[in-house]
A and B are shown apart, each in its own frame.
Chain A
Amino acid sequence: MEHARLQLVNKLFNDRPKSYKYNLFQMKLLIDRLTQHYNLTDYKQQRHNLAFVTVDKQLSPDIITHLRDYEGFSHFVLLSCVDWIEDDKLQLTYLLNQPNHKYEIGVRVLIDRKNPEMVSLHKMWKQIWTYQRELHEAFGIIFPGSPRLEENFVLEGWTEKPHMLRDFDTKEYAERTYFPRPGRTSNDPATYMREKLYPNQPVTAKTNKND
Chain B
Amino acid sequence: MSDLNINQKVSEMLQRSEANAQQDEKTFVRPEDELREVVAPDGSIIKINPLYDYYSGERPQEDKPKNAIVEKFLNWARSESIWVLGFGTGCGSIEIPPLVTPRYDMFRFGVQMRATPRQSNAFIISGYLSVKTLKRVIRSYEQMPSPKYVIALGSCTINGGMYYDSYSTINRLDKYLPVDVYIAGCMPRPEALLAGFGELKRLIKEGKGEKANEYARNFDEYKANQKKIIKDWNMPDYNW
Contact = CB atoms under 8 A, between A and B. Distances in A.
Direct contact of A and B (CB under 8 A): yes
Interface of A: 114-117, 140, 142, 144-145, 152, 154-163, 168, 170-171, 173-175, 177-181, 184, 186
B21 interface: yes
Nearest to B167: A170
Nearest to B158: A181
B172 A179 contact: yes
A174 B164 contact: yes
A163 B167 contact: yes
Contact of A117 (B10, B14, B158, B231): B10
Main SS of the interface on chain A?
Answer: loop
B28 interface: yes
Contacts of B160: 174, 178, 180-181, 184
Contact of A157 (B7, B166, B232): B232
Contacts of A168: 167
A155 B229 CA distance: 12
Interface string B142-182: 00000000000000001110001111111110010000000
Given A178-B160, A178-B229, A184-B164, A159 B131 contact: no
Size category of the B interface is 35 or more
18 contacts: A115-B10, A142-B10, A152-B232, A154-B132, A156-B231, A159-B23, A162-B13, A162-B17, A163-B167, A163-B168, A171-B165, A174-B166, A178-B172, A179-B171, A180-B164, A181-B158, A184-B159, A184-B164
Contacts of B7: 115
A174 B7 CA distance: 30
Contacts of A157: 23, 28, 230-233
The 4 A-B residue pairs whose C-beta atoms are closest, nearest first, are: A157-B232, A161-B17, A157-B231, A171-B165
A189 B152 CA distance: 24
Nearest to A120: B1
A159 B231 contact: yes
Interface centre among A116, A157, A158, by most chain B C-beta atoms within 10 angstroms, is A157
Nearest to B168: A155
Contacts of A171: 165
Contacts of B135: 156
Interface centre among A145, A168, A178, by most chain B C-beta atoms within 10 angstroms, is A178
